[in-house]
Structure 1
Amino acid sequence: MGTAKIGIVTVSDRASAGVYEDLSGKAIIDTLNEYLLSEWQAVYEVIPDERELIEATLKRLADVEGCSLIVTTGGTGPAKRDVTPEATEAVCDRMMPGFGELMRQVSLQYVPTAILSRQTAGLRADTLIVNLPGKPKSIRECLDAVFPAIPYCIDLMEGPYLECNEAVIKAFRPKNNAIDKQRRMT
Structure 2
Amino acid sequence: MNNKIIITVLIIAAIMLIMEASLLLSALFLFAKNEKESNNISKKHEIIENNKKSSINKENKEEIRIWNIEFPTLNIKGSIKEGWDNDTINSTIGHMKSNKKIDELVVLKSLINEENKYFERIDELKIGDQIIYQYNDKINKYIIVENKIVANEKERIKQANNEQIMLLTNVKDLPKVSRCVIGQIIN
Larger Rg: 2
Calculate the TM-score normalised by the size of structure 1.
0.24
Structure whose residues are more often helix by fraction = 1
**Greater relative contact order structure (CA < 8 Å, 6+ sep):** 1
